[in-house]
Amino acid sequence: MSQQEEWKDVVPIPQDDGKNPVCPIAYTDEYREMTDYFRAVMASGEVSQRALKLSGRVIDANAAHYTAWVYRKKLVLDLGVDISEELAWVAEISGRHIKNYQLWHHREALLELLLDPKQVALEPQDQRMRNPDIRRELQFIDRVIDQDSKNFHAWSHRQWVVRAYGLWDQEMAFVDTQINQDVRNNSAWNQRYFALTRNQAADAFVLTKEAADAEIAYVIDKIKLAPNNESPWSYILGLLLRHAPAMLYEDLLPSINALASDKNGALAVVSTPFYWSALVDIYEKQAEVLDAEQRDAVKGLAREACESLAEQYDPVRAKYWKYRKQELTAQ
């Protein structure tokens, strides 16, 4: 940059690591010079196309440089950069920095500038889904998830988009597609919980008997495909425990016991630690609402399940299951 006429008027500001830095970072000469000039641009508060271009170069060289992202947003606003063009730039560099926090945060901020969530919320949902900017954003997320179906950043951003613009009606269908593609995709199972509960706390969302039965049936079908897959077990236990605890033992327990008794799938189901672990959790919760005699009987079943886990189905965590058994005895 020091050899370019465009930058002759700028005096670079070197990074100040002090007199005797203990462990100086080994920057390349190119990166060191680039950031020296960028510091000078920020120090002077310069708002220009060359500053915008330089911020892009710094970010592409080090996407974790959050100060560069902050200054770039200022430049975008002050220069009146077309937000759609800036989103396209983010999409272009995302292939090289797809799991960078700052990239996704910048994209979220841009989308809010382009589409004010409060204004969009006034529109009918079908109209929101036809909005080309919203459709483009969902398509961008879809592409990222197709490349890496467990990309935490993409799923988190999708949740923000769905929540901010009220796109709840289409989300369960999307999640169902993802789970059908990969029943072990824990991110998709997490998104199913998010979509069903609309991200509400337990006391703000009531799971109806009809909805609980539908989710239990859905989960049982997925467990049949891969009994040793933890995701559906965790999903249904967490869902019912938070939003319909009585259905754990009234509806889920008979369903998983029927599955365990099925001649075609019984061996696979009862040999997984998740079946026995589910029994411990369900029996423990059921004991809370029973009288003394029934409670002791149910706790006995829970302790037997702990023994099975410690001795046969999950010996790696034997100490944990012995601890759970002791807790059940002490209660």
- The residue from 99, 150, 285, 322 that is catalytic is 99
Determine the average pLDDT of the residues in 268-279.
Answer: 94
- Active-site residue 322, yes or no? no
C-alpha torsion angle, residues 88, 90, 93, 94 (rounded to 10): -110
The whole-chain average pLDDT of the chain stands at 94
| Radius of gyration of the chain measured on its C-alpha atoms | 27
Determine the average pLDDT of the residues in 174-179.
Answer: 96
For position 120, what pLDDT does the model report? 93
Residues 182-212 have pLDDT tens digits of: 999 999 999 999 999 998 877 788 899 999 9
Q: What are phi and psi of 228, to 5 degrees?
A: -90, 20
For position 262, what pLDDT does the model report? 79
Determine the average pLDDT of the residues in 71-89.
Answer: 97
For position 181, what pLDDT does the model report? 95
For position 17, what pLDDT does the model report? 80
- Give 299-304 contacts, CB < 8 A, sequence gap 24+: 299/328, 299/329, 299/331, 302/328, 303/328, 303/329
Name the residue among 221, 283, 224, 218 with its Cα closest to residue 248: 283
Residues 104-125 have pLDDT tens digits of: 999 999 999 999 999 998 899 8
Q: Is the pLDDT assigned to residue 12 strictly greater than 90?
A: yes
24-28, 98-102, 115-119, 196-200 — which is least confidently predicted?
Answer: 24-28
Q: Is the pLDDT assigned to residue 245 strictly greater than 70?
A: yes
Determine the average pLDDT of the residues in 129-136.
Answer: 94
Question: 79: which residues sit within 8 A by CB, 6+ positions away?
Answer: 47, 48, 49, 52
H/E stretch holding 240: helix 230-243
Q: Is the pLDDT assigned to residue 94 strictly greater than 90?
A: yes
For position 16, what pLDDT does the model report? 85
Can you say how many angstroms the Cα of residue 220 is from the centroid of all Cα atoms in its chain? 24
For position 265, what pLDDT does the model report? 60
Alpha-carbon gap, residue 184 to 221, rounded angstroms: 13
33 burial class (0-12, 13-18, 19+ CB within 10 angstroms)? Answer: middle
Name the residue among 256, 300, 296 with its Cα closest to residue 276: 256
Q: Is the Cα dihedral 43, 48, 54, 55 positive or negative?
A: positive
Residues 206-231 have pLDDT tens digits of: 899 999 999 999 999 999 999 999 99
For position 25, what pLDDT does the model report? 82
Question: 198: which residues sit within 8 A by CB, 6+ positions away?
Answer: 168, 205
Alpha-carbon gap, residue 197 to 218, rounded angstroms: 16
Q: Is the pLDDT assigned to residue 74 strictly greater than 70?
A: yes
For position 266, what pLDDT does the model report? 63
